[in-house]
Amino acid sequence: MFVGPFMLVFALVFLAPIAYSLYLSVFRTQMVGGTTFVGLDNYARAMQDPQFWEGLWRVSLFLVVQVPIMLGIALLVALAIDSGRLYGKSFFRISIFMPYAVPAVVASLMWGFMYGTRFGLVGNLNDALGISLPDPLSPDLVLASIANIVTWEFVGYNMLIFYAALRVVPHTLYEAAEIDGASQWQVVRAIKLPAIRGALVIATIFSIIGSFQLFNEPSILQSLAPNAITTSFTPNLYAYSLSFSGQQYNYSATVAIIMGLITMVIAYVVQLRGMRKEA
């Protein structure tokens, strides 16, 4: 009786959409011919779909490069603020966290404008300094440009997670280390990092999910760089294009389900690894 309302909400909000997506994914609706049951055909098609795999490869690359950079910066900032040696630490804490409060759409628009080589910041720099910076929205650089936006947005968020974890480390440990003559660097390596391992794992898992779900930033920048950001740039963008421009709801649901499964598996592996070391 007690869990009844919870189960009801859970079923409606979590299970129903997944069940509906699964249901959609085993059909095919054609403009000519209507809807037919096709079993696992859509899954077979996704397995051989180069556009899907290219998108997955792109977000994987993004994950491997951007996430360590972002978490590294976040960790450095958190340690710096926590060390207590920084003047005006609440100012730094707030200003680094601030970008997280900017909606992703606004952030992308803002950066997109700065990236402009004609009237944007890049264009102004080129004019002012008489140089010719490469176009950040060209096909070769656009992924890095998106990584830059995402890093800007989420360093503060991750920093706050790490900082919160650091705050609860008992100060007696530091004092003991100081008596033993440990350097600051040794304190960080031997006390602080092990103490916040849980927070590191959580932040990593969030970042993995975020990378695989990359959508807002490329979707907004697409209008500025339509040739560099294709409709299948990331798996999520691909699912969106399939569904909304192509009316391929069934295949779109399939792509979404496969992406969900892959994300789950990788997040689970990371969690297992992270927790095992902790034990």
Partner 1 sequence: MTARPDLSRRVLRGTAAAGVLALALTACGGGETESGEAAQDADAALAEGGEITVWAWDPTLASVAADFEAENPGVTVTLENVGTGNDQYTALQNAIAAGDGVPDVAQVEFYALPQFALSEAMTDLTAYGADQLDGTFTPGPWGAVQQEGGVYALPTDSGPMALFYNQRVFDEHGIDVPTTWEEYVEAARTLHEADPDAYLTNDVGDAGFTTSLIWQAGGRPYQVDGTEVTVDFSDAGTQQFTSTWQTMLDEDLVAPVGSWSDEWYQGLSDGSIASLVIGAWMRGNLESSVPGAAGDWAVAPMPQWESGAEVTAENGGSSLAIPAASENADLAWAFLEYATVGDGIATRVAEGAFPATVAELEDPTFREEEFDYFGGQAVNEVLADSASQVAEGWQYLPFQVYANSIFNDTVGQAYVTDTTLTDGLATWQDQTIAYGEDQGFTVDP
> Pseudo-torsion of CA 116, 119, 121, 126, nearest 10°?
100
In the shown chain, the binding pattern of residues 22 to 51 toward partner 1, with x for contact by CB under 8 A and - for none, equals --------xxxx------------------
Residue with tokens 């490869």: 57
* Residues contacting residue 184 through CB under 8 Å, at least 6 positions apart: 83
Residue number, 90 or 245, with CB nearest to partner 1: 245
Residue number, 203 or 225, with CB nearest to partner 1: 225
CB of 207 within 8 A of CB of 67?
Answer: yes
Query: Could you say which of 74, 191, 228, 257 contacts partner 1 (CB under 8 A)?
Result: 228
Decide: is 236 part of the binding site for partner 1 (CB under 8 A).
Answer: no
- Give CA 66 to chain center in angstroms: 9
Which residues inside 60-99 make contact with partner 1, applying CB under 8 A? none
- The DSSP secondary-structure symbol of 225 reads -
Q: How far is the CB of 228 from partner 1 (least distance, A)?
A: 6
Decide: is 17 part of the binding site for partner 1 (CB under 8 A).
Answer: no
Residue number, 3 or 31, with CB nearest to partner 1: 31
* Residues contacting residue 274 through CB under 8 Å, at least 6 positions apart: 197, 198, 200, 201, 204
Contact residues for partner 1, defined by CB under 8 A: 30-33, 116, 118-119, 138-139, 223-224, 226-228, 230-232, 241, 244-248
